[in-house]
Structure 1
Amino acid sequence: MELIINIFSLVGSLALFLFGMKTMSEGLEKFAGDRLRSILAAMTKNRIMGVLTGVLITALIQSSSATTVMVVSFVNAGLMTLGQSIGVIMGANIGTTVTAWIISAVGFKVDIAAFSIPLLAIGMPLIFSGKGNRKSFGEFIFGFSFLFMGLAFLQDVATAMGIGDMVAGILAHVPQNSFFTILLFIVVGALVTMIVQSSSAAMAITLMLFGMNIPGFGFEQAAALAMGQNIGTTITAFMASLTANTQARRAALAHMFFNVFGVVAFLIVFYPACDAVSWFVDNVMGGGNDLFKLSAFHTAFNIINTLLLIGFVRQIEMLVCHVLPMKAQDEDYRLRFISGGLLSTAELSIMEAQKEIHHFAERCQRMFGFVPELMQTEDETEFNKLFSRIGKYESITDSMEMEIAAYLNKVSEGRLSDASKAQIQKMLRQITELESIGDSVYNLGRTLNRHRMHCQDAFTPEQTQHMQTMLGLVEGSLEEMMKRIDLTAPRTNITKSINIEHEINNYRKQLRNQNLYDVNAGHYSYQLGVFYIDFISECEHLADYVMNVVQAGKGLNNDYEDRPRNGQD
């Protein structure tokens, strides 16, 4: 019974450590998320700055996995190139070594857990303050406290269970001073890191075991575990990229190639490297703490690996592009920017969804561009092909609305600021109206198709001119909508959109009255007039939906829809 309790205590201590690491990282990301993303965007213009950026951000949030996942999501959202991401990933590997230095310096020497409880008292009022930044900083304090409490509990439980003796017993059956043993420890390090999904947690366990002076588990064995952890940590970004686009998968693959290459290269000079690090710590740093040797090795490994490969970023990029080629039809029928799982923080997921909505709007605008072409097409085969294409686009817009809405609903389940909650509501309204634009464009195509099939009379030159003028006004409305949705464009007011909307409404009324007069005067048949005015009215409805998208982005109520939404009816 005691053994079972100890096992659960050991797992619980590790869980507390991981939870603390996650909470601390997420708290700091939310506290300084926009700043971190601004740093990523501004400081990755060249590979050197990219590396330094990766070091800085990872040292701050204490998680190379979080940085790498953030980078993958940036590449997925088109905010960072593949080449830029490789530099940041290199820096993230260096930045994550800060955790090992902190633990080596104070984790097992000073009773940090004793200070953790008072820290919780400081963090509690911040957690319940309700203010976004204060709450996020409170989460950071709580995470920091939980991290070191978990570390202290982990050491206490491991000592009580006699983990050191257990490990020594296992190692007694493993050949000592064998290169095979080093390879075995690398594999174990990779597997442990893959399981706990945190190289920092795996490094904490390694430092704890190394500090126990277990027979058969010396500096070289611990260093091999640390090398394996560098391979295991790549699995987090790789899993995050599985449902992302090709560029994001390439970034994750580059991370894996980079770390695997470093391990292979260091294996060639493994024993001399260990001796060099030991000499440096003993003679330059003054010795006194063997844990510093492992931290120094971990840091040296990542710095040297970066120095070796920093000049070959372009070659790494070419390699991963060769392994993962871009298909001609890649993502033609799928979302481009958001993946099946949420990446990094909720705020970052919202940003990805915004990019996807922009892509959604572009597809609607491109779909609308088929209508003038359909009007001018006389060949029946070409007409049917183009009308079928419009129908295909309409089906895609339906799917995009559902998938983006499902993604936003997942995001809304997380902890969000009031501003983020309001932003999600705006985005949900936008995608609903964008889907209606797709329906309306299809209705325009269907009206032209019905006219072609059921009416022998062609549109008069005057009708054709009026229809083209109306399409031009709607196109102008769509262009203004795209300016409002474009995240990189400067914010403008919606006065021009409102003016175009009024112009479309007035033009529709004018054409409707003129149509009644022309039909009564016998200028064309009643049936032709019905198809003509249906087309004009549908253009006006489409413009209503466009205006609703603009208003949703502005946070205003929808005042322009004058009919119930009925899909394609």
Structure 2
Amino acid sequence: MNPNFKTISAGVAILLFGMIMLEEGFRVFTKGPLQNILKNATNKLYKSITAGALVTGLIQSSSLVSVITISFISAGLISLGGGLGLIFGANIGTTATAWLVAGFGLKIKIAALAMPMLVFGVVFSFQKKPSLKGIGNVLAGLGFFFLGIHYMKEGFDVFKEYIDLSQYAVSGFLGVLIYTGLGIIITTILQSSSATLALILTALAAGQIEYENALALAIGANVGTTITAILGALGSNSAGKRLAVAHFIFNIITGLVAIVFIFPLARLVNNFSEILYIASTNYTLKLALFHTIFNVIGVVLMIPFIKRLERFLMRFFKDKRDKEISEPKYLNPAVLKFPGTVISALLNESKYLFKNSVFEIVAHALNIHRADIISDKKLKKVIKKSNIDLKTNVDDLYYSKVKIIYGEIIKYASTAQGTLSLNDRQTKAITDIKIANRKMVEIIKDVRELNKNITMVLNLENKYLQNEYDSYRKKITKVLRVIYLFRTEDNAGKYALQLKQLKKEAKINIRQSNKSIDRLIRKNLITAEMASSLFNDYANVNDMIEKLIDVAELLYGKKDSLLEEPSENENTTK
């Protein structure tokens, strides 16, 4: 093998390694602020596109932006439309690599700058503080990036003395098609469009390829990166598949438009070059400009169709929440990438479990329909008319609707606490979610015992016993109604106070005897066995009320921002 070809290959490998280190550095150094910027910029399409472009241009990693976007969509933090805006913007942001290489990397003796970066980068990367380690990885990444460009440039400069690749130039549309295909192949092999662009620019600077063919290679690099995204999404969740397909559609359409209009676009680049004072023979900067122009045009073309694309992707890639109720709706491996996304997913999953399973199981165990609880009917009338056994099998409902999801929540919560760096607030948030879920399971076990006695009383002709159990049902129903209003109404503070009062009353009741039961015993209106059941269920009901309110407060109480990463002065757990 020609030694200069080895030099070029080594340069590509070093550059790719530098890009990996850059991504890792920014992952540590700007994780919290980066996530907050991306999350808060998705309420408007223009903001999400701008944020995606700026962040990608800064950190030189569209893949990191894609990972964060997939995690946010999976956790329900942002909409698919907002995620599409970030991904389209990231495509514009990737053009920063071409400008960096063409405007800086090929103009100065880059190796001299790379070595100090590598020295300080390696020193910092061995530090314990996350921020210093991140700075070290960023510096080392930039050092390797520039060193890779240096080796590639040196390799091509010497390589042309032996073989002149420009003699294989093909003009016209045939050349466009051939070199676009070649760009796709190279990008698929390197798994990085940025690395392909760096390779194209260094070869162009060395005169190894013609400018016209370099334009086609750049188009191929853009299209080729979608193959990487598709391959990466094969084992992903529905959010990952939707974004990968959106990325594929965007780049294919952009590529086709660029191929069809490549010569008018080249003339447009010449016109802009004059305005920007770029020399007519400065083909590397003109290529960077071309790469930016056709990506921006692609975004402009896609903007009117984003809503349609969103509907198509939602319909084509069905979400699990449309399937079995026993399956987790928000939990998937993508949310485990970041503390904020896993906490949001755990919270949403727990709320879903409470709203759609626990609430219903408790209501039906009391022989009351959920629709009556959330209505504005008088509770006394609701209890009076709900005198038919609903034949609720609490155990079956627990195993079919709760157990699997509860197990997944605990698994994801424990995994997050064991693998992610969490600050004190985030650790407490996950602990609270685990406590809330444990209490939900305890509530189901408690209501199972209560249901047995409520069913038994229906078959006994003792109105005094029936009245006591009706009062128990009314107490729990009142709590369920206030919890429903607390989590659905705007005036949550009012219902939060009501819940605190009901919880206080339940605590007092647990410590005090039920005077009405004492009176029924003294008057021989109930048997000793009935009294025993009433006393047990009296304590059971008040304990359930406490747990129900605890769950509501833990899941629906106001939370601080959970996306913030650990600060230097804040304790973290690993």
- On whether the aligned pair clears a TM of 0.5, the verdict is yes
Paired letter, 2:364 = E
Paired letter, 2:47 = M
Residue 287 of structure 1 is matched in structure 2 by 280
In the TM superposition, 1:211-222 aligns within 5 A as 211-214=205-208, 217-222=209-214
1:262 is displaced (CA, Å) by 0.9
Q: Is the 8 A contact 1:372 1:468 kept in 2?
A: no
Residue 363 of structure 2 is matched in structure 1 by 372
| Range 459-468 or range 117-126, more displaced | 117-126
Instruction: Quote the Cα distance in structure 1 between the aligned partners of 2:303 and 2:483.
Output: 48
SS in 1 for 2:392: helix
Kindly report the root-mean-square deviation, in angstroms, between the aligned alpha carbons of the 2 structures.
4.4
Residue 413 of structure 1 is matched in structure 2 by 419
User: 1:297 and 1:261, CA in 2 relative to 1: closer, same or farther beyond 3 A?
Assistant: same
In the TM superposition, 1:234-253 aligns within 5 A as 234-235=226-227, 238=230, 246=238, 249-253=241-245
SS in 2 for 1:335: coil
| Range 12-21 or range 236-245, more displaced | 236-245
Q: Is the 8 A contact 2:37 2:51 kept in 1?
A: yes
In the TM superposition, 1:160-559 aligns within 5 A as 162=159, 168=165, 176-177=170-171, 179=173, 182-214=176-208, 217-235=209-227, 238=230, 246=238, 249-277=241-269, 281=273, 284-324=277-317, 329-330=322-323, 332-341=325-334, 346-347=338-339, 350-370=340-360, 371-376=362-367, 382-384=390-392, 388-405=396-413, 407-408=415-416, 412-413=418-419, 416=421, 420-423=422-425, 425-451=427-453, 457=460, 459-470=465-476, 472-473=478-479, 501-511=503-513, 522-529=524-531, 531-542=533-544, 543-544=546-547, 547=550
In the TM superposition, 1:65-144 aligns within 5 A as 65-123=63-121, 127=125, 131-144=129-142
Instruction: Quote the Cα distance in structure 2 between the aligned partners of 1:503 and 1:166.
Output: 89
Q: Is the 8 A contact 1:22 1:143 kept in 2?
A: yes
Q: Is the 8 A contact 2:443 2:547 kept in 1?
A: no
1:498 is displaced (CA, Å) by 6.7
Instruction: Quote the Cα distance in structure 1 between the aligned partners of 2:394 and 2:455.
Output: 15
Residue 64 of structure 1 is matched in structure 2 by 62
Instruction: Quote the Cα distance in structure 2 between the aligned partners of 1:99 and 1:245.
Output: 30
Identity %: 23
1:506 is displaced (CA, Å) by 1.8
1:276-332 CA-partner distances (Å, limit 9, x unpaired): 435654785123432123212211110222222323333333443454456882474
Paired letter, 2:471 = Q
Residue 143 of structure 2 is matched in structure 1 by 145
SS in 1 for 2:366: helix
1:413-432 CA-partner distances (Å, limit 9, x unpaired): 35x3xxx2535533442343
Q: Is the 8 A contact 1:433 1:549 kept in 2?
A: no
1:205 is displaced (CA, Å) by 2.2
SS in 2 for 1:376: coil
Residue 560 of structure 1 is matched in structure 2 by none
| Range 66-75 or range 270-279, more displaced | 270-279
1:86-135 CA-partner distances (Å, limit 9, x unpaired): 33322221121011111112213322332233234555675566555454
Instruction: Quote the Cα distance in structure 2 between the aligned partners of 1:498 and 1:394.
Output: 27
Per the normalisation by structure 1, the TM-score is 0.77
Instruction: Quote the Cα distance in structure 1 between the aligned partners of 2:354 and 2:510.
Output: 22
User: 1:124 and 1:200, CA in 2 relative to 1: closer, same or farther beyond 3 A?
Assistant: same
Instruction: Quote the Cα distance in structure 2 between the aligned partners of 1:346 and 1:324.
Output: 24
Instruction: Quote the Cα distance in structure 2 between the aligned partners of 1:379 and 1:236.
Output: 60
Instruction: Quote the Cα distance in structure 1 between the aligned partners of 2:278 and 2:27.
Output: 33
In the TM superposition, 1:18-37 aligns within 5 A as 18-37=16-35
Q: How many residues align?
A: 532
User: 1:401 and 1:326, CA in 2 relative to 1: closer, same or farther beyond 3 A?
Assistant: closer
User: 1:235 and 1:541, CA in 2 relative to 1: closer, same or farther beyond 3 A?
Assistant: farther
Instruction: Quote the Cα distance in structure 2 between the aligned partners of 1:317 and 1:526.
Output: 65
User: 1:103 and 1:398, CA in 2 relative to 1: closer, same or farther beyond 3 A?
Assistant: same
Q: Is the 8 A contact 1:29 1:61 kept in 2?
A: no
Q: Is the 8 A contact 2:359 2:480 kept in 1?
A: no
Instruction: Quote the Cα distance in structure 2 between the aligned partners of 1:430 and 1:351.
Output: 16
User: 1:273 and 1:4, CA in 2 relative to 1: closer, same or farther beyond 3 A?
Assistant: closer
Unaligned regions of 5+ residues in structure 1, if any? Answer: 556-569
Per the normalisation by structure 2, the TM-score is 0.76
Unaligned regions of 5+ residues in structure 2, if any? Answer: 369-386, 560-574
1:395 is displaced (CA, Å) by 1.5
Q: Is the 8 A contact 1:206 1:225 kept in 2?
A: yes
